[in-house]
Amino acid sequence: MELFAEYPEAHSTICSNLLLDFDLTVEGKPIPGVEDDLSDKHKVETKARILHAMKQRLEQRFLMLCQAARSGDSETLAMLVRQGANLNQTDYNGRSAMHIASREGSYKVVEVLLQNDADKNTKDHWGQVWSTYVHICGA
């Protein structure tokens, strides 16, 4: 990836153009109305690898978001927000970063999440919104 080293300020433009070459948006979603050219096997395989790498990156970012919420690390959380982390993503129990932060008493993290429009109405698998955990934990 010499191109990134040579033009670091153009990183996002380079990535966007690369994704467009594979008929993907910057979020990794297929461009509406564009059909895959299944005859180009190399392109199909490369696109699958790109999608897999993007999925892993999103999962990694979510794990970092949950860890920041759990540990009260509002600086890391703010960095993840700037990188476009999905603040409303939920874990296997339906808990968002807001649920985790409030349960752990990480109120600076809750504040950052609220300032960045995290959904206040997301319910976990037990039907609880994040503010329930504030009361349960004695805050």
Q: Which residues pair with 24 in a beta bridge?
A: 30
Q: How many CB atoms lie within 10 A of CB 27?
A: 10
Q: What is the reported pLDDT for 74?
A: 92
Give the chain's end-to-end CA distance (angstroms, integer).
Answer: 49
All structural domains of the chain, each given as residue ranges with its CATH number in brackets, are 36-136 (1.25.40.20)
Model confidence pTM above 0.95: no
Per-residue pLDDT tens digits of the chain, which is 139 residues long: 565 566 666 767 877 787 888 888 877 788 888 887 778 888 888 888 888 888 888 889 999 999 999 999 999 999 998 888 899 999 999 999 999 999 898 889 999 999 999 999 999 999 998 888 775 654 4
C-alpha–C-alpha distance, residues 18 and 9, integer Å: 16
CA separation (Å) from 109 to 20, 81, 82? 35, 11, 14
Instruction: Find the helix or strand (DSSP H, E) in which 60 lies.
Output: helix 41-71
